Amino acid sequence: MKIKTTFLILLSALLFSCTRAPQQKQAYNPADNALLMATFYNYYAAEYQALCYQAYNVAKERVTQLHKEFPKKKNMAVVVDIDETVLNNSPYQALSVEKNSHYPQCWDSWCEQAAAKPVPGAVSFLRYADSLGFQVFYVTNRNIKLKAATMKNLRKFNFPQVTDGHVYMKTTTSDKEPRRQVISKQYDIVLLAGDNLGDLYEASGKYPQRNQKVKALRNNFGVKYIVLPNSMYGTWPAGLGLFSKNPPVDSLLKVMAKSFGNACR
């Protein structure tokens, strides 16, 4: 009898667990979730795609010009960043929103899956540069331990020149300048593409110095430097102090609010 009762209790518990209404999923309010909006933009927005094509169309034009100008030059190099420059990691960001987690949680396992899709226009541009005889170098701040998986991901989509000597991972520093200097010893870097200014030149510093440097270098954008859109992350929030203990949100808003005048007050 005791066994029968226990069995019935267990059976009812099992049935209850099977028939219970599924747990309510957390409701997202896109307008209140900056990362969700940014992530959707970098995956779904036609404007994002258009910006990428625009960037790589300009890049194509530049290598065409350079090839015409220096047809016999064999050491011209194109240097590209990987994440959000040639590979799109917005699915990883979507997972972070869903799990309410933050980088670097799950980052390595995402990279090891080699599942990131190409940024629009990237494969076509790099294959074109390769066909004209340009050297292509991938300089990324992914950790060196992710090199094989990263190369596998790039090869999956037929990116050119994905060889050991053409893929520079992060070893000791996130600063890409030392790696660019190594490449420069043998090659003339004529074009760089990235979603973060540090992919293009030595870009340490904070706001407003970062912006002042961009202004000083303005004639190089679309000529030597190609910038890709990344609304999800980058160096700029840290440059604004947004990751500090007391992020200066109020004072940043105050500066912007000056433009409002008395409207809607």
The distance of closest approach from Cβ of residue 243 to Mg ion in the complex, given in angstroms and rounded to an integer, is: 18
CA gap 86, 172 in Å, rounded: 23
The distance of closest approach from Cβ of residue 36 to Mg ion in the complex, given in angstroms and rounded to an integer, is: 20
Nearest to 77 by CA among 200, 186, 199: 186
Tokens of 214: 């961009």
Of 81 and 90, nearer to Mg ion (C-beta) is 81
The distance of closest approach from Cβ of residue 85 to Mg ion in the complex, given in angstroms and rounded to an integer, is: 5
DSSP character for 105?
Answer: T
Tokens of 166: 């053409």
CA gap 156, 117 in Å, rounded: 9
Q: Return the number of other C-beta atoms located less than 10 Å from residue 227's C-beta.
A: 20
Of 135 and 196, nearer to Mg ion (C-beta) is 196
Of 52 and 83, nearer to Mg ion (C-beta) is 83
Tokens of 83: 């994440």
3-state secondary structure of 78: strand
Cis peptide leading into residue 178 (ω within 30°): no
Of 132 and 189, nearer to Mg ion (C-beta) is 189
Of 66 and 200, nearer to Mg ion (C-beta) is 200
CA gap 71, 158 in Å, rounded: 25
What is 112-172 written as a DSSP string? Answer: HTT-PEEPTTHHHHHHHHHHTT-EEEEEEEEEGGGHHHHHHHHHHTT-S--SGGGEEEESS
The distance of closest approach from Cβ of residue 72 to Mg ion in the complex, given in angstroms and rounded to an integer, is: 33
The distance of closest approach from Cβ of residue 122 to Mg ion in the complex, given in angstroms and rounded to an integer, is: 12
Of 66 and 116, nearer to Mg ion (C-beta) is 116
Of 81 and 161, nearer to Mg ion (C-beta) is 81
Contact yes or no for 59/8 (Cβ under 8 A): no
Of 90 and 195, nearer to Mg ion (C-beta) is 195
The distance of closest approach from Cβ of residue 164 to Mg ion in the complex, given in angstroms and rounded to an integer, is: 21
The distance of closest approach from Cβ of residue 189 to Mg ion in the complex, given in angstroms and rounded to an integer, is: 17
CA gap 265, 260 in Å, rounded: 9
The distance of closest approach from Cβ of residue 196 to Mg ion in the complex, given in angstroms and rounded to an integer, is: 5
Instruction: Using CB under 5 A, list all residues that contact Mg ion.
Output: 81, 83-84, 195
Nearest to 50 by CA among 233, 183, 228: 228
